Chains A and B, each alone.
Chain A
Amino acid sequence: QQQVKQSPQSLIVQKGGIPIINCAYENTAFDYFPWYQQFPGKGPALLIAIRPDVSEKKEGRFTISFNKSAKQFSLHIMDSQPGDSATYFCAASKPQGGSEKLVFGKGTKLTVNP
C-alpha cells in the first residue's frame, strides 16, 4: 500500500525552467511533509518542509504548495540549474511523540539541461 504517490517519475527541463513535482497522500493524520534531494552516491538531504497549517512555503528557489483538502502537495524549483539535477523525494509523517517515521514517494529524477 503506497501511502504517498509521487509524479512524474522523471522530468527533463531546460536551464531556467520551472520543474514541478507532485505528491498525493492518503492518511489525513500526516502533519509533516518534507522534500528531500538525493545525488548519486549520497544520502537524501532535506530541502524544504511544510506543515498543513500553511498553503505555501518558499526557501530560496524552492517552493512547496500544499492543498490540504485535496491531500496534495508539490515542489516548484524556480530558475532551475544543471546543478539541481538529482532525484527528489516527497515524504510524509504523522505525530508520534517525537518519533518520525517518514513515508516516502517513489522519487522523481530531474535532469536540467544547460
Chain B
Amino acid sequence: KAGVTQTPRYLIKTRGQQVTLSCSPISGHRSVSWYQQTPGQGLQFLFEYFSETQRNKGNFPGRFSGRQFSNSRSEMNVSTLELGDSALYLCASKKNGGTQYFGPGTRLLVL
C-alpha cells in the first residue's frame, strides 16, 4: 500500500510570495492533517480536513489555509511568506478514528 506522498519535497521562495503544497493521502483515508515542524517550536498542528471540510484548526494566522478535494487529496497554501515560515511541512492521513500516518514532508525555505 502506498504511503502518504507530498510534493514538492523541497521549495525555495522569497518573502512576500505565496506557496502551495500538495498531499496525497493513503488510499481509503479521508482525513488529512497538516503540521509545521521547526527546530524552535517543534511539531505544531495547522489544520485537519475530512470530507472536504476543515474540522479542526491550530493557532496559526489566516495566511495559512488549506483545502481538500473529493478524492481526499489536500493542498495547503501560505500567502505573504515570512522568513519564519521556513519549516518542514508535514501531512498526515488517517481513517476516521484511526492512526495518523505521516508523509516525508515538504521542506520550505523562505529567503
Provide the residues of chain A in CB contact with B90, threshold 8 Å.
43-44
Assess whether A100 is interfacial by the CB under 8 Å rule.
Answer: yes
Determine, out of B11-19, B62-70, B98-106, the stretch whose residues face the partner at the interface. Answer: B98-106
Which of B43, B45, B96 has the most C-beta atoms of chain A within 10 angstroms of its own C-beta? B43
Q: CB within 8 A of B43: which of A42, A46, A89?
A: A89
Is A99 a contact partner of B100 (Cβ separation < 8 A)?
Answer: no
For B105, the chain A residues whose CB sits under 8 A away are: 43
Nearest B residue (CB) for A103 = B45
Counting chain A residues whose Cβ lies within 8 A of the other chain, the interface size class is: 20 to 34
**What B residues does A42 contact at CB under 8 A?**
104
**Complex contact A46–B99 (CB within 8 A):** yes
Report chain B residues within 8 Å CB of A106. 42
Q: Which residue of B lies closest to A91 (CB)?
A: B43
In the bound complex, residues from chain B placing their C-beta under 8 Å from that of A43 are 4, 90, 92, 102-105
> With the chains together, A91 CA to B44 CA distance in Å?
11
- Would you call B97 an interface residue if the criterion is a C-beta within 8 Å of the partner chain's C-beta atoms? yes
Q: Give me 19 other A-B pairs in contact (C-beta within 8 A), A34-B99, A36-B102 excluded.
A: A42-B104, A43-B92, A43-B104, A44-B43, A46-B99, A49-B99, A91-B43, A96-B56, A98-B96, A99-B31, A100-B48, A101-B33, A101-B48, A102-B43, A103-B45, A104-B42, A106-B42, A107-B42, A107-B43
Which 5 A-B pairs give the minimum distances between C-beta atoms? Answer: A43-B102, A104-B43, A98-B96, A106-B42, A99-B56
